[in-house]
Every structure is written in C-alpha cells, then in structure tokens.
Structure 1
Amino acid sequence: MSYHHLYKFIIIGDTGAGKSCLLLQFTDKRFHSGYDLTIGVEFGAKLIRMNNKRIKLQIWDTAGQESFRSITRSYYRGSAGALLVYDITRPETFANLTTWLEEARAHSNNKDMVIILVGNKCDMESRRKVRYEEGEAFAKEHGLLFIETSAKTATNVDSAFTRVAETIYSKIESGTIDLKNESLGIKLGSEAAAGGADGVTVRGGAALLRLRGRRQAPLPAARVGGLLPVPHHLRSQPGTNSCMCVIG
C-alpha cells in the first residue's frame, strides 16, 4: 500500500523489558506470554493515519544482550525515532537507561531523533519498583517524551508509537527536519511525490517479521539513505503473512 512518509524507528532497552511484546502488540494486536530472547533484531511495519496522510512506520526491535551490541549499534544510524524501554518491576532496567541513551545518541547520525521513554508492564502495579515520577523526571532531565505502557493489556501501546510519529511529523511541518536527507530515517513515499491523498482511514496495515532463533543477525549489506532494506532471504513469500513491507 502506498504512503506519504516512512519513518524508521528503533526499540532499545534491557533484555526482558518487553520490547518485542510491545512491537507484537502494536503490529498484530496480540500478546505473547512466553519469554523468547531476541536474537539480533526483529522487524515490524505498520501504516498509521496522520492529518489525512498515510505514514508507514518501519520498526526495528533490537536484542538487549551485551553480546549483540556490536550488531544492534548499526541500527541506530538513520533512525528518526526511538523507544527506550524499561520494566517498572525491575529497577536495574531503569538504572541502565543512561547507558542506553548515551549509546543511542553516540551512534545516531540524527541529532533530531525523537526518543520516548517507555515504562512497560504498568499492569503489574503490585510489583512496581520504579515510581511513575522517577520515569517522568528522567525523561524531563534528558529531553525525552514519557509514557507508561502494558504490552499485555495494550494500555498506551499505540500511543507510545504514535506520539513519536506525531513529533516527527511536527518537525517536518515546521521545517526542522530536511525531507531530502534520507539518512535521517525518513523517506518520501509515492503519495507524497504525487501530492495526493484520500479519505481512507488505515487502522490495520500491519506486518511483523520475527527473526528469533537465528544465530546470525540479519544485518543488511546495503541501505537506502538511513533506511535499512529487509534482506532478500527474510522477505515474505506468497501466501504467507510475514512481512508486507520491503524497503530497498
């Protein structure tokens, strides 16, 4: 399906914070209760509607383990937005936020990358160890957006992604972001080139390509500006419902 803009997102944070569950809930509207380590990266895509324009979100969910850091660092480059995720029941995931944030900003080539701090698992209030006010204060100190979510109940999951997209869109509208520079993680689609729009509301348009269990992370050899193409061996096959979005 055609779109006006494509935004590249990255999801970062400690292992077990619920990054993959957030992505699955956002793209597929379902929750996976099991615990599977992300090996390398996972990819998801979804079309959303903003000011009568279709916006495609290309989302890369990274592994939280230290052993994959050298691979996942390459995905910081060319990201327009990022979700920095911690688990409100595990204070160590909150304590590590500064390291994740410093790494993201050090390896990103986009000084205008929009980052939202996401306190996940807010459905587990009885086990909360990180207060809402602590997350809010961290976000304010570092110039981040902030929200608490539950991938299990879907609370605020859509809002976490759309708030980042809305902020990016506002920066484009104000001229802060140069649309001609694809290395910033934004790509003009065919609808933008044609200057057209229709009144169709896109609520679905989601796809998720799961890369779990792979010992070699799918690091593409080529990129278009800052946007990472999906490797050929991971693209969807006819008759399947894996990935409908191929950028390359």
Structure 2
Amino acid sequence: MAAAPSPPKQRNPDDFDILLKVVLIGDSGVGKTNCLSRFCRNEFLSNSKPTIGVEFATKQLTIEGDLVKCQIWDTAGQERYRAITNAYYRGAVGALLVYDVTRQKSFESIPRWLSELREHASPDMVVMLVGNKTDLRDQREVPTEQGQEIAQREGLMFIETSARDGSNVDEAFTRVATEIHGIVRKRRLESQQEEWEEPAMPRGISIPIAVQQEARAQQPQSRCCGS
C-alpha cells in the first residue's frame, strides 16, 4: 500500500530564500515614501512629511517558487541628508529612481542621481526609472516619451506610476525584484555547476550566494566595503 503523501512543510514567517536590498532615490517630494507605503501597506499618506535620513520597510514576494524578502530603503532627497544616505547604497542590488511627472526640475535631476548611484553602488545594480504622480494629468510637465528616452539611453527599466491611486506601483517593485531574482538564480546555478566540476568538493553540496555580499564584491577594490 502506498504511503500517504507528506503534508507540505510549514515555513516560519521570518524565513526567506533570498534577501534583496532595494533603494528608493530621487528629489524630495517626488513621492518615494508614498510609493513605499503603497507597495508595502497599500496605503497613501496625503499629509506625509519629508523623510529624515533613511527609513525602510520589507515585503515578501514569491518568485518562481522562492520566497524573496524585499528590504526597501527610502532615502531622503534633501541635499543636507546626502552624506547620510550615501552609505546606504552599499549592499543594494536594486534601485528605483523616482521623479515627479508634474515637476520638470525633478526630471532634470536624474543625471545627478544616476552619477551618485554609479559612484557608490554596484555596477550590476538593477535600476528602474519611475515617473510618479500620473494621476495629476492636468499638471503633467514631463511627457512619457522623455522618460522612455532617457531610460533607453542610460540602460534603465522604465515605468510610470501613481502612488495615490496605486497604478503600476506593485508592478514597479515586482519587476525589479523579478529581474534581480533571475540574476541571482543564474549565479547560483553557475556556482552549483562549478562545484560538480570541482573534484575536491563533495557532490551535491551547494554554497549559497549572499546577494548583498555579491553586490559588494562587484565594487572596485579601492572603494570602502562597509555597509
């Protein structure tokens, strides 16, 4: 008589297969905090105050059977906090660069933010350009085509969102997480293949890859490796 199938393994709510650190960057007032709040808690704070320093929240996603814990850091956009937030690029494997489609000046700041990102973060970081506040249609100053153009030129993913009505917010974060997850899985497979080919290593043993350590390892040796 065939044995009854074993019940599915219960997972601890704190368990996860992959941890991803993602940063939100962009000028103050573009809606970074509300994008985070909408994604993690499905809330919109109409009277939200500017972020002081750095805040973060987490959300778990299931991607191709893996439980992915997204640790999202909301960085202040004000100039006086730039020295504080720079250190938080370390270990990040993804970034959402947010601008306000109703403020041309926030769009013009994109090259500065990209320069800072590339100076302090891993060169392999997955970056998405996000045009937020699409619900304010009558106040739009930045056409969609301009966002698409700079994203294509800089090799970025692109999307437009509204934290107020929730349009595309989940999709923005999920697309970034899915892209990173694909990179991580590919590297894990490559690592396992190397182990099978290495005679000194016992067969069937895999060495887990820590995503944040991978990101640090990609940085030039002359940079500080602290997080």
Same fold (TM over 0.5): yes
TM-score normalised by structure 1 residue count = 0.72
Map Cα deviations across residues 147-180 of structure 1 (whole Å, 9 max, x no partner).
0000000100001101111111111233299824
1:96 corresponds, among 109, 127, 136, to: 109
- Distance in 1 (CA, whole Å) between partners of 2:99 and 2:211 is 31
Identity of aligned pairs, percent? 45
1:11 corresponds in structure 2 to 24
2:93 corresponds in structure 1 to 80
Q: How does 1:158-169 map to 2 (within 5 A)?
A: 158-169=170-181
Stretches of structure 2 lacking an aligned partner (at least 5 in a row): 1-12, 192-208, 217-224
Q: Counterpart of 1:9 in 2: which secondary structure?
A: strand
- Distance in 2 (CA, whole Å) between partners of 1:161 and 1:52 is 18
1:156 corresponds, among 168, 178, 193, to: 168
**Counterpart check, 1:123 vs 2:135:** yes
1:175 corresponds in structure 2 to 187
Mark the structure with the bigger radius of gyration: 2
Q: Higher helix fraction: Structure 1 or Structure 2? A: 2
RMSD: 1.9
Aligned length: 188
Q: Is the 8 A contact 1:7 1:185 kept in 2?
A: no
2:144 corresponds, among 132, 144, 154, to: 132
1:46 corresponds in structure 2 to 59
Q: Counterpart of 2:112 in 1: which secondary structure?
A: helix
Q: Is the 8 A contact 1:15 1:65 kept in 2?
A: yes
- Distance in 1 (CA, whole Å) between partners of 2:60 and 2:99 is 25
TM-score normalised by structure 2 residue count = 0.79
